[in-house]
Amino acid sequence: MRSVEEQLAIITSAAVTPEPVRIAITETLGLRCAERVEGTEPLPGFDQAAIDGYAVRSVDIRQALAAARSGDFDRDSEDAPATEKATENTSGVKETLPIVGDVTAGSLRPIRLQPRQAVRVEMGAPLPTLADSVLPLDWVEKEGRKIRPLEAIASGEFVHRKGSDVQPGDVVVEEGAVIGAAQVGLLAAVGRSKVLVYPRPRLSVLSFGRELLDIDRDPAVGQVYDVNSYALAAAAREAGADVHRVGILSGEPRKMREVLESQLLRSEVVVISGAVGGAASDELREILSEMGEMDIQRIAMHPGSVMGFGTLGQDKVPTFLLPANPSAALVAFEVMVRPLVQLIRGRRQATRRVVPARTIAGIASAPGRRGFIRGQLMRDRETREFLVDPLGAVNGGEPTHLLGSHGQANCLIVVPSDVTDVAPGQVVDVLFLSNKD
């Protein structure tokens, strides 16, 4: 019997990264970048207002505030007393600045700001020449087409300087980085409509079994619906693969071989359920052995202890043979197939997040095999401790092969191979089946 670690080492050694492709950035979310992307122009490409306000020279604001503090008045003010007008500062410094224009975001008309003037600007608008800051709207009192500043402002305040985000030659997306929303935004910001990426691994799913019937037909006695091709295709898609659900593999040997060869040509991974036991699968396994190396082993785990793995076809495509039982097939996919998909995608962490949790019921596990028991993971509101309610292999409860409880599970409880009974209240490792990578 082969250990889980030994089987995983064989599987992961067969991972092959797909050839990069150049695609639109709108389609790159979650993919790994296959090139180093650098900025070619400054970003932003011009000095830009960071808020709505007034573009000014900071020195003019300081002088206007100083004039207000010293008791000087605007020469144009009609409200100033005559005696005070007679004692005005002969330097001509005023406590108000005239508004000489308006600049909206996207404006293509350049404006030159003269000393002791202000220009109304929108957020994102190009800053007028000579302006070095933007005075917020609530930092002024507006008097017709003039503003009276209430606060001092530093040079560069509320301004996005040209090239402050990206300079020519700056790396905006590293080769090998997983592209998220921020990376898509950066690619758009530097004018890249397409980028070279490693595509999602193409994965084909097939089901084998004389008793299988597709779900759009009515089963006769002895027939069952093909559950696995649907369930495994969904699991593969959730893992990040580009999935092709072939459905039921049937017919004479020559026809089955043609179907298999076509999937090997179009896939980086092939998954076949229902081909590891019984006399009916001997014929299929013989076909597979002619197409490459296929090894069927008993693995020290449950459920899903019997499975096959090999590399088939000219391109040595990793191919899995999983159990016919839907619940066992899903567990085998999670433990063995999903890590390979993650490695092909370039993920640093190939397995799910593992958290310690305290069981609220006893668990029975097969001796000498690592158990992967379905469960519901929850958290205590007061202690914030993880708790887990086992849904399969419970002492005195349901058997492990039922699929119904799998739909209620959000985790797999990992029971070591040397443990057969877990008492309520014990802490166990839990594989969290989040829908996120």
Pairing status of strand 354-359 against strand 202-208: unpaired
Q: Which CATH number do you get for residue 117?
A: 2.170.190.11
Q: Which domain holds residue 271?
A: 4-18+200-345
Burial class (CB in 10 A: 0-12, 13-18, 19+), 155: exposed
Low-confidence ranges of the chain (pLDDT < 50): 72-91, 396-400, 437
Is there a domain that residue 85 lies in?
A: no
pLDDT value, residue 276: 80
Q: In what order do the strands lie in the sheet with 118-121?
A: 133-136, 53-56, 118-121, 97-103, 146-149, 140-143
Is there a domain that residue 114 lies in?
A: yes
Residues in CB range of 190: below 8 A, 6 or more apart: 37, 39, 40, 41, 43, 166, 172
Q: Which CATH number do you get for residue 13?
A: 3.40.980.10
Is there a domain that residue 133 lies in?
A: yes
d(CA 72, CA 323): 91
Q: Which residues pair with 208 in a beta bridge?
A: 249
d(CA 134, CA 58): 9
- Which of 130, 145, 160 lies at the terminal end of a domain, its last residue? 160
User: 413 and 395 in one domain?
Assistant: yes
User: What is the helix (H) or strand (E) element at residue 312, kind and residue range?
Assistant: strand 306-312
Is there a domain that residue 72 lies in?
A: no
Distances (CA, A) of 79 to 65, 75, 89, 304: 19, 10, 17, 92
pLDDT value, residue 385: 93
- Tell me how crowded residue 224 is: count the other CB atoms within 10 A of its CB: 12
Distances (CA, A) of 54 to 108, 152, 206: 18, 13, 66
Give the torsion sign (CA, 403, 408, 411, 417): negative
User: 135 and 231 in one domain?
Assistant: no
- In DSSP notation, 11-72 reads HHTT--PPPPEEEEGGG-TTPEE-S-EE-SS-BSSS-EESSSEEEE-HHHHHHHHHHHHHT-
Is there a domain that residue 82 lies in?
A: no
Is there a domain that residue 291 lies in?
A: yes
User: 143 and 288 in one domain?
Assistant: no
Of 302, 424, 311, 436, the closest CA to residue 369 belongs to: 302
- Tell me how crowded residue 357 is: count the other CB atoms within 10 A of its CB: 23
pLDDT value, residue 394: 57
Q: Is 282 helix (H, G, I), strand (E, B) or coil?
A: helix
- Tell me how crowded residue 19 is: count the other CB atoms within 10 A of its CB: 8
User: 386 and 361 in one domain?
Assistant: yes
Is there a domain that residue 75 lies in?
A: no
User: 30 and 52 in one domain?
Assistant: no
Residues in CB range of 40: below 8 A, 6 or more apart: 168, 190, 191
Contact, 167 vs 190, CB < 8 A?
Answer: no
Q: Count of domains in the chain?
A: 4
- In DSSP notation, 322-375 reads E-SSHHHHHHHIIIIIHHHHHHHTT-S--S--EEEEEESS-EE--TTSEEEEEE
d(CA 203, CA 240): 10
Is there a domain that residue 233 lies in?
A: yes
pLDDT value, residue 93: 64
d(CA 371, CA 365): 6
Q: Which residues pair with 343 in a beta bridge?
A: none
